[in-house]
Structure 1
């Protein structure tokens, strides 16, 4: 199948926070912040330049309120926590700060205490992996492989399955005698093919359900977040413009827009998918406007049901066309409520179930002959806006602060304030 055909099929369907917890036990904190943009430049490696860089680093650490000890390379980010224990994490830096002999970024190691065996890792020029500790990466990959049944049918059916939304996958399975099963929607987006296709036809196809385009959705979210950011600026005398999370950011379609607006101190693009985050980083590198932005931008790999961010630390959170992909929707919404600051706001778009129930007039497409309980394992079917409202109320949002709006045939826009 040519890519253009596959894309056409797909298109038919679907800065520092004011919250600063105490330092983790056992650590001498050197700095409260390590910017993600300091490691992506080519720097002269001559001795004089190296001395100048060290002096520059010492001055920077001093300005940030930490020790200027050159040997330690330990920094502290008030947002990051262990996704399970919620203990604060400190960042150990491996590699040059403020330059180096190549364009490669800085390697990071994150842990809650010096003796903790839960160590997370990342690179400032790719992403920070807070989904799983590095010691568990191999076993986690093996567990994923064991938990997902291998497709043993023909290569043609396998490739079709990758590009087919979950509600229609059983129709392909019925063409074979093999035991094809649903691929969870979250796992579908780990495919490099889908990551490549996302901004090349996939996302644009959501317009059929009534979704606003990316520019319009960004402006809607920006407008909704504005009062929160104005309050943040006023409280800090303009020093803090607030922190925005773009959850399930995919290729950074909205992450880049939030960053280029220069209206926020910090933007975090978060996603479960390794391939999506790598595609996002490539697009970020290619965007000249981001290079000149004053907003700090980080990409984080994580699970929305176990958000690795401190409680009451995020001013606004956006989730564009994402909630229907979250396997643990109740827990995910509780986590969003937890990380938002009091008065923080949540803006999201998602699908109602009727969009998939009526695709191409296939009355049974939504469940493919399976029980609804089985199909729900692969995709979140939201039957009504009342159902969505109840999920948000159960997560902790108060009724007066929840607005759920149907736009077009099947697009839902959610606005909530904590």
Structure 2
């Protein structure tokens, strides 16, 4: 397994290094994407594919009286996210679970917002995953997708060759999948090769 496979599902020591790198390496694109997400101070948010937990920490700051939950199917990511958000977990404002976005372990209409940073590339059966996100969102809730690669560059192909199971989607593809799942008001933002999409339930 190549080191870069750890972007998809971090395992072992390589995975631990990767999630630490993600927390730093993805911070600029995540901060840019978060400006398109409006949250009430007491919002309930779910971060899907929470990786190293840095974005959960940012979300907790955005909703200081709120609750942020994270899921990841990598035990390494879950462990790192728990460490990074230890204080908020102790306060009862945060929880990290090992789970797949294809089968979310939550009741319907739980969250005001669901986020996905640098992770939809690896979701199996995207339409099914988007339906799962739709179910757990409250009516009028927001789904935010934030990707470093928007599918418009030749360089994107290099990554899909290095990392097995990675698909880089263009904005029109994601918009179509979101609308099929029932989302509306799909808004697309681009900066350099970055892509951020928000959609409402």
Shorter-chain TM-score bucket reads 0.7 to 0.9
TM-score (normalised: structure 2): 0.83
Equivalent residue in structure 2 for 1:284, among 62, 85, 88: 85
Classify 1:195/1:330 alpha carbon distance in 2 versus 1 (closer, same or farther; 3 Å): farther
TM-score (normalised: structure 1): 0.43
- 1:265 to 2:66 alignment: yes
Classify 1:414/1:316 alpha carbon distance in 2 versus 1 (closer, same or farther; 3 Å): same
Structure 1 residue aligned with 2:28: 212
Structure 2 residue aligned with 1:365: 158
In 1, the alpha carbon distance for the partners of 2:130 and 2:4 equals: 27
For residues 95-174 of structure 1, the aligned pairs below 5 Å read 158=1, 161=2, 163-164=3-4
Classify 1:280/1:395 alpha carbon distance in 2 versus 1 (closer, same or farther; 3 Å): same
Classify 1:312/1:416 alpha carbon distance in 2 versus 1 (closer, same or farther; 3 Å): same
In 2, the alpha carbon distance for the partners of 1:164 and 1:266 equals: 32
Structure 1 residue aligned with 2:141: 344
Structure 1 residue aligned with 2:95: 298
Classify 1:388/1:291 alpha carbon distance in 2 versus 1 (closer, same or farther; 3 Å): closer
Structure 2 residue aligned with 1:199: 20
Classify 1:262/1:328 alpha carbon distance in 2 versus 1 (closer, same or farther; 3 Å): same
Contact 1:385 1:406 in 2 (8 A): no
Unmatched 5+ stretches in structure 1: 1-157, 166-182, 231-240, 369-374
Larger-gyration structure (1/2): 1
Structure 2 residue aligned with 1:152: none
CA RMSD across the alignment: 2.9
The Cα of 1:265 is off from its aligned counterpart by 2.9
Whose strand fraction is larger, Structure 1's or Structure 2's?
2
The Cα of 1:215 is off from its aligned counterpart by 3.8
In 2, the alpha carbon distance for the partners of 1:385 and 1:307 equals: 24
Q: Tell me, what secondary structure is at the counterpart of 2:174? A: helix
Deviation track 1:278-333 (CA, whole Å, cap 9, x = no partner) reads: 11222223x6xx478x6621111111011111112211111111111212211111
Structure 2 residue aligned with 1:408: 192
Structure 1 residue aligned with 2:119: 322
